[in-house]
A and B are shown apart, each in its own frame.
Chain A
Amino acid sequence: MTATGIGASVRRKEDFRFVTGKGRYTDDVNRPGQAHAYFVRSPHAHATINKIDATEALKTKGVLAVLTGDDIAADKVGGLICGWMIHSKDGSPMKAGAHPALAQGKVRYVGDHVAVVIAETYAIARDAGEKVVVDYTVLPANADTASAAKPGAPVVHDVAPDNMVYDWKLGDKDATDAAFAKAKHVTKLEIVNNRLVPNPMEPRAAVGDYDEGNESFTLYTTSQNPHVARLVLSAFIGIAPEHKLRVIAPDVGGGFGSKIFIYAEETICVWAAKKVRRPVKWTSDRTEAFLSDAHGRDHVTHAELALDEAGKILGLRVKTIANLGAYLSTFSSSVPTYLYAPLLSGQYNIPAIYAEVDGVYTNTTPVDAYRGAGRPEATFVVERLMEVAAREIGRDPADFRRQNFVTQFPHQTPVIMCYDGGDYPKSLDKALELADYASIGKRKAESARKGLLRGIGISAYIEACGIAPSAAVGSLGAGVGLWESAEVRVNPVGTVEILTGSHSHGQGHETTFAQLVSDRLGISIDNVAIVHGDTDKVQMGMGTYGSRSGAVGMSAIVKALDKIEAKAKKVAGHVLEASPDDIEFKNGKFSVKGTDKEIDFASVALQAYIAHKFNGQELEPGLKESAFYDPTNFTFPAGVHICELEIDPQTGVVAIDKWTAVDDFGNLINPMIVEGQVHGGIAQGIGQALFEGAVYNKDGQLLTASYMDYQMPRAGDLLSYDIAVTNTPCPSNPLGIKGCGEAGAIAAPPAVVNALTDALGHEDVPMPATPQTLWRAAQRAVTKAAAQ
């Protein structure tokens, strides 16, 4: 391993600009003559719009335009789309209600876009927005997941009179019923997976610009996948053809899924720029972000696990209602279906699985992928069932898991996935050792002496990353391929530019991708530049989500580097007067096998461009190659997290005092960055378990629309984590990478809840387990213990 190669904890190249305030985020972009947009949003969850009167607003000095759904319709701007087709059990396609960027006749959630005011300054636009008078007829709201599709519930979209987007299934019902019929023990659980708001610290923003001379548009936006944004805005929404639309996603301040999607605001900014012939800028404030960024999770689930007399799992049955909100967001339909149920086998041998998922409309903010997307929900179901089942049959939760682990690979689950490799017992053993699981009894007794309740909880998760083979996802309904592209441009002096379709919004690609190139070509990472986030520079890409940038994005770079090496060997052969087959490339030097004749990489690059040493008709001058890499399988990161905590039954306050994480991410490019990803994921997972929850009242008002009401995890709520790895290389991609971005957020919630319930004498607690909830549960536990 070299100091800057694969496996080294190289300090990040991008950090100088971030620590000096020189990052360039979308809100830092200002275009000459720019105007500002303010969105008039619905204060009602469900209402018909009778009239919009903008007369007074338009009279305000500095207002350029007030645009509404009528203008969108007149300009034939297409609606926002959902790009993953899901079919119901009867084969019928999902029911997608129209999703105009500005409401047409009806609003369906608080925050829905009614009109946009464009003015000289944001303050003027906002002031004028207050003067837009909208006459609504308020309708009853449908705001509760469990009852959304019950008879008589208010109808959100006429195309779905029962509010069902789809009723979908996966697995073999008959085989699962048969498994339950012969079960010795059945564990049953009711689970609510709480609704979360992603909350990247940078709010969404967009600047739309129209160039009259070239009849072309530029959109600066907070996107995790600018090419997909361009594709959707061109091919579906119809703003401009792709060659007339440039999308730039500069530095992006976190995404966690919420910046994958194509929203109304950026659509409006780019469309309105042509209407007012001025660049149009919009930056979300935090309250708008709570109302309009796609939320995550929000499942209501009934789950059952069937065991034989020896504790072997026979079958798993799951019925989930998934709240998709008021409209189908860009990938929302796939999250509670193909990103969820295929992970229900966990790390375990489960012969039969059957899952049903009802996707329902409600008058709430659309729900889509948030860190982990479906996989945290699946893991929560599986790991809560495992914990409760172990206690019910009187087994140690660790041993019970070990007994049921998959140990042979490849392993075909009954729910699509074929696990390609891993060593689950190894992660469990290491985690138990690091967590000093063996002496938990002693620590519990010590806590009890202080009047405190101590608990320990295990979570053995698996997830699917590196999404995914294009043909496979296509057969499941995806509207796009999920390959990645890369271009390697070698300059005549031997410096290298990598153009990638992946997008970094905190993951450190400028460093890790450069490490790969440095390792492979033997050049300094300072001589490598990573170019991303601009559709005019990078030809095509699918972006960053689902931990795919390593497994898929870097694999594309490897493929392009293979081509570079092959071409460079030909050039070197000519220079060294040897056959390319006799040329070896090592440590940045090309040499003729068995001789001391050699030439370094930079000199070969120069020779490739001056093209004096070879016939330009036989070998093309230059050194530039590109590649598209389509993955051969999902990757399957897996691991074990253990949470140990103490509850004060007097106050309901919980303190986590030890967190152990042992993860198998395959090969690591930069362990420092990987650890950072795990830390952040765990914090979000603990947030879900203890603090965070989006709450709607029955009228569909979001009661948690600011940091005053939605509790984000803070430094004082958390701890330093103990992290280790047991890496088994991934057999499905050239670098052996599995992906690490979601692991913590997937593993943490069940680890925390399992620990809480352990401390509470097996009392179940809902998430977020607030002090009030815990206090009540602790009182019940104490009473129960006293009675025994």
Chain B
Amino acid sequence: MTAVSMTVNGQHVSAEIDPRTLLVQFLREHLRLTGTHVGCDTSQCGCCVVHVNGDAIKSCTTLAATCDGADVVTIEGLAKGDVLHPMQAAFRENHGLQCGFCTPGMIMTAVELVRRKGTDLDEHTIREELEGNLCRCTGYHNIVKAIGAGAQAMGAAAE
């Protein structure tokens, strides 16, 4: 067993875990934060994306033990109470989700994309940047729209 401690959505957590525990397992099974999903076993789908120290990473391919001391944000940590993060609101407003399974990963990816590339994102950039995220329901049309609008809204909110 290995001891880990980290901050998850602003709260300090520590636990004794099997060293092979993946970050996604730690989040889902130990902390019962089930908003982060697992859609594949080859690091291809992005359903599992969370932020670790501000970077969007695939929690299915990250050992929890390597996140010792890290600041982790999951989809559950994005809204402020009942007030949605602008990117969450944009997904709802633009019908950027159907079954919702890919959605947490999409939103976490999108939020970090805005941080890296700014709030004015063209369609081509958004589509290229989604290379690590699969959605089987939406055909991406409305996800692309949602991310563009969400980026704008994040810009407006920051002003």
B41 touches A20 (CB 8 A): no
Kindly name the residue among B32, B101, B127, B135 whose own CB sees the greatest number of chain A CB atoms within 10 A: B101
A15 touches B92 (CB 8 A): yes
Q: Is B99 an interface residue (CB 8 A)?
A: yes
Q: Is B102 an interface residue (CB 8 A)?
A: yes
Main secondary structure of the interface of B (DSSP, over half): loop
Q: How large is the interface on A (under 10, 10 to 19, 20 to 34, 35 or more residues)?
A: 35 or more
Q: Is A594 an interface residue (CB 8 A)?
A: no
Within 8 Å CB of B107, what residues of A? Answer: 19
A27→B34 CA distance, assembly (Å): 8
Give the interface segment out of A197-205, A340-348, A558-566, A732-740: A197-205
Give the interface segment out of A402-410, A672-680, A755-763: A672-680
Digitize A5-38: 1 where CB-to-B-CB distance is under 8 Å, 0 elsewhere.
0000001101111111111110110100000000
Chain A: minimal CB distance from B52 (Å): 16
Query: With A253-B99, A287-B41, A706-B42 known to touch, is A21 a contact of B35 (CB < 8 Å)?
Result: yes
Within 8 Å CB of B126, what residues of A? Answer: 715
B18 touches A18 (CB 8 A): no
| Number of inter-chain CB pairs below 8 Å | 179
Q: Is A714 an interface residue (CB 8 A)?
A: yes
A314→B95 CA distance, assembly (Å): 45
Kindly name the residue among B18, B34, B75 whose own CB sees the greatest number of chain A CB atoms within 10 A: B34
Q: Is A325 an interface residue (CB 8 A)?
A: no
Within 8 Å CB of A200, what residues of B? Answer: 99, 101, 136
B78 touches A18 (CB 8 A): no
Chain A: minimal CB distance from B49 (Å): 12
Query: With A679-B142, A720-B123 known to touch, is A19 a contact of B41 (CB < 8 Å)?
Result: no
Within 8 A of A (CB), among B106-130: 107, 123, 126-128, 130
A532→B45 CA distance, assembly (Å): 29
Give the interface segment out of A88-96, A570-578, A681-689: A681-689
Kindly identify which residue among A24, A123, A285, A715 contacts B127, using a CB–CB cutoff of 8 Å: A715
Q: Is B139 an interface residue (CB 8 A)?
A: yes
A555→B34 CA distance, assembly (Å): 35
Residue of B nearest to A744 (CB): B139
A231→B109 CA distance, assembly (Å): 42
Kindly name the residue among B76, B84, B97, B133 whose own CB sees the greatest number of chain A CB atoms within 10 A: B97
Chain B: minimal CB distance from A739 (Å): 16
Can you list 25 A-B contacts with CB-CB less than 8 angstroms, sorted by A residue number?
A12-B92, A15-B97, A15-B100, A18-B103, A20-B75, A21-B33, A30-B32, A201-B37, A201-B102, A201-B137, A252-B99, A253-B99, A253-B100, A286-B42, A676-B98, A676-B137, A676-B141, A680-B139, A683-B138, A683-B139, A707-B42, A712-B134, A714-B133, A715-B127, A715-B130
Could you tell me which B residues sit within 8 Å of A by CB distance? 18, 20, 28, 32-42, 44-45, 47, 74-76, 78-79, 84, 88-89, 91-93, 95, 97-104, 107, 123, 126-128, 130-131, 133-145
Closest 6 CB pairs of A and B: A21-B35, A253-B101, A18-B100, A683-B139, A506-B99, A21-B75
Could you tell me which A residues sit within 8 Å of B by CB distance? 11-12, 14-25, 27-28, 30, 123, 199-203, 251-254, 256, 283, 285-287, 505-508, 672-673, 675-677, 679-684, 706-708, 712-716, 718, 720-721, 744
